[in-house]
Amino acid sequence: MKAGYAACRRGMQWAIGLVALLALLPAFAKTPAAATAAPAQRTVLVMGDSLSAGYGMAAPEGWVSLLGERLVREKPGWRVVNASISGETTAGGSSRIVDEVLRHRPGVVVIALGANDGLRGLPLAEARRNLARMIGASQHVGAKVLLVGMRMPPNLGPDYTAGFERNYRDLAKLFDTALLPFLLEPIALDRGAFQDDNLHPTVAAQPKLLDHVWPALEPLLD
């Protein structure tokens, strides 16, 4: 059984990687030789939604911007590029991932998407395919991946809620990526940590989110 699972996992990884590579080839062919040289500073690319884009606050106040400040202090060979967009879904991230990894040549990609899929009740299989493509494209250019999960409220039904969480666990296992199961875990039960919409964290909560992400991210910054 284990051997069969391993073979299936290798086959799926190969297939997704091949699809990502085929998408990358035209862009690689157009890239000048000088542009392919490794940058002096390595990049953490964050692909997220409004939770990572700093919705409702100034850009420097969000957890991703705070991550950039921490990298300067603690990992000076690294910088952060925030490619997060408010309202982004896994489909949007999947459509952008190839261009983003080619443009920034990241050493680490943080994928923090899915919340908007869940809030809209989009099919779990679709989200899974989109996230798989993002992971595959990231790994195919040599980047390590931190997959950041979300949880959905129970009003969508127990099957959807459980399947939503399981998507992240299964993908992290399949692609052997780092996993942070729930971005909002340190503040989820604190109503005061959220803006009036009860969806987006406040400015004061952003350092807590960074402190939650950092232990999962730091080991990837070798």
**Closest of 31, 209, 191 to residue 110, by C-alpha:** 209
**Closest of 59, 80, 77 to residue 69, by C-alpha:** 80
Sheet with 108-112: strands ordered across: 78-82, 42-48, 108-112, 144-148, 178-180
Catalytic residue among 104, 140, 200, 212: 200
* 3 state SS of 73: helix
Higher pLDDT, 11 or 214: 214
**Closest of 134, 128, 135 to residue 176, by C-alpha:** 135
For 16-56, how does the pLDDT look when each residue is reduced to its tens digit (9 = 90+)? 554 554 454 454 444 444 444 445 699 999 999 999 999 99
**Closest of 187, 112, 117, 119 to residue 145, by C-alpha:** 112
Residues whose CB falls within 8 Å of the CB of residue 87, separated by 6 or more in sequence, listed in order: 49, 50, 116
Whether residue 193 has pLDDT greater than 90: yes
Whether residue 121 has pLDDT greater than 70: yes
Question: Is 200 noted as a catalytic residue in this protein?
Answer: yes
Catalytic residue among 50, 52, 94, 138: 50
H or E stretch covering 218 = none
> What is the identity of the amino acid at 115?
A
Whether residue 12 has pLDDT greater than 60: no
Question: Is 140 noted as a catalytic residue in this protein?
Answer: no
What is the C-alpha separation between 217 and 210, in angstroms, rounded?
10
| 83 contacts 100 by C-beta, under 8 angstroms | yes
* 3 state SS of 31: coil
Which listed CATH number (3.40.50.10490, 1.50.10.20, 3.40.50.1110, 3.40.640.10) goes with 2-24+42-220?
3.40.50.1110
What is the C-alpha separation between 161 and 151, in angstroms, rounded?
7
Secondary structure of 89-134 in the HEC alphabet? CHHHHHHHHHHHHHHHCCCEEEEECCHHHHHCCCCHHHHHHHHHHH
Question: Is 49 noted as a catalytic residue in this protein?
Answer: no
Q: At what angle do helices 124-140 and 158-175 cross, to 10 degrees?
A: 20
Q: In the predicted model, what is the mean pLDDT of residues 149-172?
A: 95
What is the C-alpha separation between 82 and 59, in angstroms, rounded?
10
pLDDT band of residue 13 (cuts 50, 70, 90) is low
**Helix and strand numbers, DSSP H then E, in the chain:** 8, 5
For 47-92, how does the pLDDT look when each residue is reduced to its tens digit (9 = 90+)? 999 999 999 999 999 999 999 999 999 999 999 999 999 999 999 9
What is the C-alpha separation between 1 and 85, in angstroms, rounded?
41
